[in-house]
Amino acid sequence: MKRLKSLRRWFTRKFGYARLLCLLLLVGFAALRMADPAPMQEVRLRTFDFFQVLDHREKTARPVTIVDLDDRSLKAVGQWPWPRTVVADLVTNLTRLGAAAIAFDAVFSEPDRLNPDAAAETFRNLDEATREKLKALPSNDQVFAEAIKRSRVVLGESGLPKANAELDKKLPQTGLATLGEDPHRFLFEFPGLLRNVPVIEAAASGRGLFTIRPERDGIVRRVPVVMQAQGVIMPSLTFEMLRVVTGTDTIFIKTDKTGIQSVGVKGFQLPTDKNGQLWVHYARQDPSIYVSAVDVLQGKVPAEKVARKLVLIGTSAVGLNDIKTTPVSPAMPGVEIHAQVLESALTGGIVAQPGYGIALEFFAAIVMGLLVIAFAPKFGPVTLVGVGALFASVLLGVSWYYYVRHHLLIDPTYPLSSTTAIYLTLIFASFVREQRQRKQIRGQFAQYMSPVLVEQLAQAPERLKLGGEEREMTIMFSDVRGFTSISETYKRDPQGLTALMNRFLTPLTNAILARKGYIDKYMGDAIMAFWNAPLDDKEHEINACQAALDMLEKIDEVNKAREEEAAEGGRVYIPLNVGIGLNTGVGVVGNMGSDLKFNYSVLGDSVNLASRLEGQTKEYGFPIIVGSRTALAVKDRFAILELDFIMVKGKTEPEVIYAIAGREDVMNSARFQRLRNVTIEMLACYRSRDWQGALDAIERGRKSEDAETLAKLFKLYELRIRAYQVDPPPADWNGAYALLTK
């Protein structure tokens, strides 16, 4: 047990619970096929019905003639049963026409009610002499028996649901020989047996059961070749007929441990199922093999209709209730089913289930099941459906080939149903796994992305590469300036500080999410976010800049409300100012962390630079500072102002940085153009070492109406220039300034 659990854990860890469940299903279906319950049988039978409808047996010869006790005959002669003398005339005429053998699909179990001795006792007012003459006459049964003796006649017998106490076991029985297991336990058994009147029975060349057992759905697909009736093994009417015409004294039954394999007489070996039943290979109903019984009695039947043929005497009359349902016809007389069996046997049209059929079914089910288990999870839906259709076509094709070419019944339904169940299980497991994955994605990303983006990601989780991938992204860092001073005012009100943080972090977060951003993490009052992951965003630079400007607007709204509240409450108002750094570059994004706890995050130099840029917002006096790749991507959509050429600590390549001063309306304004021109002139003089020119540009800028906007920038450059005037930069200086702080 311990070893089994260990094996199960190893398998599920390596292949998953779904595949383990599918293996158990494969074993379960194999056990189900061995048990072969009724529903499984019916599906198989319906498949064979379909085959017969598509490709029924074509008649190559007509070795059987049916003498039909039809409605016209019943009207002419009278209600059945007819007097035995009339039946004797029927046999005599058929014998004279050259019938090879005659079989009755009826049983004569009682003496004829019109026997002369019965009439002598029944009729009134008869004189004694007449009564004695009647008693001296031969009985109608005797007349019939004499006619039978002059021909080769097989009498029909019937199985009964109850034992017949009057059964005469001394009457003749067909010889029986067996090869293999005792057949008794495999044969269908009737508790009782209804035989013919002894005088008739003794005169016949053979006796056979004409009882037909429909399937559970009422369709006759198989007829027993041999059966048990009240302890006696008896052949069917048709098989006994074959025995009689071949002159064989004994029928041979071949069995093995699984059941009966075949039943034979000289020249005929009929394969059967394990219960001794023969699959009937049906042809379409054939009116040409019927002749009316009254025409036989009146001598109107051509000799070629009967000569050297097996003649079955039965009825198609509806009133005699011998109409059966078959795969090819909803209303076929029972006597014609016997004719179909004889035609199949005599023309080589027998169909059968081969002994290796079940082994072939098991092999197909196991191979297909294992292939589906192994490869289905790796295929896409379209490929999976295509491969499944191919497998189904191959199975049906093989089964159809065996049926058409070799008249063998190979069941495709078991391997198909087994494989389909496994396929559906894997589909369901995949569905559950996807739902769980979507739930996990929703849970993991719902707090950091907009609901619309989260749902897109949940519906297409393949767009999320959890293992980490390189992609170009725009990264944002934002921080509240002077938050330490603000938090000191809440020393005695920690709940108030928490409420304040939520108050400004919520609109800032919403601004990011509304522009398709992903919140990486919160670090106290700071936010880290990025764009173009986990979902693609072709305009990630633009969306990031829009979000940054939205954040400034949101924080202005929060400040305005706080200022009003502070004035009403008589409290000191300290505004919240946000610094934002944006940078575009390649980063590695994915689930970062440990096996126990991880976070969807991004790493890389571009991330570090975005963080440094956010830290410089207080130095340059602009709330939004972006790297050069971001600026170049959005230069036609935003008011971009070049600030500096810097060397960030820890990097070897300098970076041009810019400020985002506003949207297109600001970009196109005269005021911004003046600011831009002043900074361009100052930077040009500064980088060409024209210190005085740069100072003059700064002085002109300070005298303009926009001096306040550039105050910090002018002061920063003035200090640098004064320092360079005292201590000039080296000759290879390229204008880059090394930041001393992170």
Examine the pLDDT at 502 and tell me if it is beyond 80. yes
H helix or E strand, kind and range, residue 541:
helix 540-569
Using 50, 70 and 90 to split pLDDT, how confident is the model at 667? very high
* CA 98/CA 95 separation, integer angstroms: 5
Report the length, in residues, of the chain: 742
Q: Could you read off the pLDDT of 433-454 as tens digits, one per residue?
A: 666 666 665 555 555 444 554 5
pLDDT given at position 33: 81
Strand 226-229 to 598-603 pairing: unpaired
Q: What is the CA radius of gyration of the chain?
A: 50
pLDDT given at position 450: 47
Using 50, 70 and 90 to split pLDDT, how confident is the model at 570? confident
**Is the sign of the CA dihedral 211, 217, 221, 226 positive or negative?**
negative
* CA 230/CA 235 separation, integer angstroms: 13
Identity (one letter) of the amino acid at 555?
I
Q: Which two tokens stand for residue 140?
A: 């109608």
H helix or E strand, kind and range, residue 584:
strand 577-593
pLDDT given at position 6: 59
pLDDT given at position 463: 47
H helix or E strand, kind and range, residue 591:
strand 577-593
* CA 608/CA 583 separation, integer angstroms: 9
Average pLDDT over residues 154-173: 82
- For residues 54 and 541, which has the higher predicted lDDT (pLDDT)? 541
Instruction: Give residues with Cβ within 8 angstroms of 271, minimum separation 6.
Output: 261, 262, 278, 350, 352, 353, 354
Q: 402 to each of 296, 355, 384, 515, how far by Cα in Å?
A: 42, 13, 27, 65
pLDDT given at position 232: 86
Give the DSSP letter string of 418-484: HHHHHHHHHHHHHHHHHHHHHHHHHHHHTTTS-HHHHHHHHH-GGG--TT-EEEEEEEEEEEEETHH
Q: CATH assignment of 446-461+471-668, given 3.10.400.10, 2.60.40.4070, 3.30.1490.20, 3.30.70.1230? A: 3.30.70.1230
The pLDDT > 70 percentage for the chain reads 87
Q: Could you read off the pLDDT of 50-76 as tens digits, one per residue?
A: 888 888 888 888 999 999 999 999 999
pLDDT given at position 213: 81
Least confident of 108-112, 126-130, 223-227, 265-269: 126-130
Average pLDDT over residues 346-366: 83
pLDDT given at position 416: 86
Most confident stretch, 89-103, 354-368, 437-451, 498-512? 89-103
Instruction: Give residues with Cβ within 8 angstroms of 374, minimum separation 6.
Output: none
